[in-house]
Amino acid sequence: MSEQVVGGKSFTAVAINCAAKAGEWIKTKLGNHTSLSLKYSAQDLVTEVDKGAETMIRNLVMTHFPQHSFLGEEGVQPGPEASTKALQSVRDAEYLWIVDPLDGTTNFVHSFPFFSVSIALAHKGEVIVGVVYDPIRDELFVAEKGKGAYVRGRRMGVSAEETLRDSLIATGFPADQQYALPLNMKGLQALVPQVRNIRSGGSAALHMAYVASGRLSGFWEIGLNSWDLAAGSLLITESGGRVTDVKGSPYDLGVRHVAASNGHIHDEFVQALQQAESGS
Ligand code: 2AM
Ligand code: CA
Ligand code: CA
Ligand code: CA
């Protein structure tokens, strides 16, 4: 358990409690959500469950840590630059909670059982706690900076593949059809023949957790937001993997075009994505 305790509750314990409570509630709503609306585009869905889960998490966090800042997907203006703009207003926060209350809303709406709750705590811009919870499989992924990463209470580690040829890679298909989608498609076209196969589950946070737990060798996606990646980034680094942007620059909260892997394939992976982008 973390030494970082305020008012008798550790940061990690609160993050786990929030993820478990929100996840359990989301599961009860599967197949019977009552409102579905569009945010920024026809592919940008939101339900009362996304909003309710965020409110639940925000209230719990604020009860324990009223001085902390909070950035949640449903609390900001939607759009392609949603998290970049929102991050500017909390740039100076000492402690910042970064929350995706329901990652994989499209799956949730279609009862496709692959979605998660993603909760991270950053201290001065560096993620120190990351929790991703899959309520369908009741799988909780937890990492604390410097203390390793765990799934179902057991230490986890990245996979052993050394080459793209042996790798199982995941990606997602962004809603932004101007920039992000065409770029992702270039990467897809280039990578399919080079890797063992590609998967697209529809929850970036769970894809990150699966890289951390060795079920995927790597994951890339263009046009994500801080709440999709913050928790998963710590899961992966604490499991021995690497997280950068698609050009290979180190991960920070502003990264939107992510490349994450077991580390062994990282240079080859980033190089393949760069070649795809430049068309060489
Ligand atoms: P969400 O379900 O929380 O919105 C799948 O490719 C990933 O993209 C998911 O993590 C999903 O998160 C995210 N996503 C889906 N629609 C999006 C949109 N319109 N803008 C940004 N991210 C989106
Ligand atoms: Ca969303
Ligand atoms: Ca998301
Ligand atoms: Ca979401």
CATH number at residue 50: 3.30.540.10
- Position 1 scores a pLDDT of 39
Asked whether residue 99 falls in the same domain as residue 209, the answer is: no
For residue 227, what is the domain's CATH number? 3.40.190.80
Judge if 218 and 140 occupy the same domain: no
Last residue within a domain, chosen from 155, 178, 211:
155
The number of the ligand 1 atom at minimal distance from the alpha carbon of 221 is 6
Same domain, residue pair 206 and 150? no
**Model pTM above 0.90:** yes
Determine the Cα–Cα distance for residues 212 and 216; give it in Å rounded to an integer. Answer: 8
Ligand 1: residue of 106, 222, 229, 256 to mutate (most ligand atoms within 8 A of CB) is 106
49 and 77 assigned to the same domain:
yes
**CB-facing half-sphere around the CA of 114: CA atoms within 13 A:** 13
- Which of 40, 44, 98 has most ligand 1 atoms within 8 Å of CB, for mutation? 44
Nearest CA to ligand 1 atom 16: 44
Q: What is the model's pLDDT at position 39? A: 87
Instruction: Give the residues across from 141 on adjacent strands.
Output: 132, 151
Phi and psi torsions of 213, nearest 5°: -90, 5
Q: Using CA positions, which residue lies closest to atom 22 of ligand 1?
A: 224
> Are residue 105 and residue 232 in the same domain, yes or no?
no
- Across the beta sheet with 126-134, what order do the strands follow? 69-72, 95-103, 116-123, 126-134, 139-144, 149-151, 154-155
Question: What is the model's pLDDT at position 2?
Answer: 41
Interhelix angle for 11-28 vs 48-64, to 10°? 160
Quick one: 74 and 184 in the same domain? no
Domain limits for position 102: 5-155
Tell me how far apart the terminal alpha carbons of the chain are, to the nearest angstrom: 49
Together in a domain, 15 and 145: yes
- How close is the Cα of 44 to the center of ligand 2, in Å? 6
Ligand 1 atom nearest to CA at 41: 19
Based on the fold, state whether residues 187 and 87 are members of the same structural domain.
no
Q: CA-to-CA distance for 12 and 162, rounded, in angstroms?
A: 33
Look at residue 4 in the predicted model and tell me its pLDDT.
Answer: 63
State the Cα–Cα distance between residues 205 and 141, nearest whole angstrom: 10
CA 34 to centroid of chain Cα atoms: 26
Same structural domain, 18 and 133 = yes
* Domains of the chain: total: 2
pLDDT at 280: 63
Same domain, 176 and 122: no
Domain boundary among the residues 101, 121, 155 is at: 155
pLDDT per 10-residue tile (average), the chain, 280 residues = 59 98 97 89 90 98 97 92 91 94 97 98 97 98 98 97 98 90 95 98 98 98 97 98 98 97 98 91
| Ligand 1 binding pocket, CB closer than 6 Å | 40-41, 43-44, 73, 100, 103-105, 172-173, 175, 202-204, 221, 225, 228
Among the atoms of ligand 1, which is closest to the Cα of residue 80? 20
Which atom in ligand 1 lies closest to the alpha carbon of residue 104?
2
- Are residue 140 and residue 175 in the same domain, yes or no? no
Residues 6+ apart with CB under 8 A from 78: 39, 40, 44
Domain end position, chosen among 155, 172, 195: 155
212 shares its domain with 179: yes
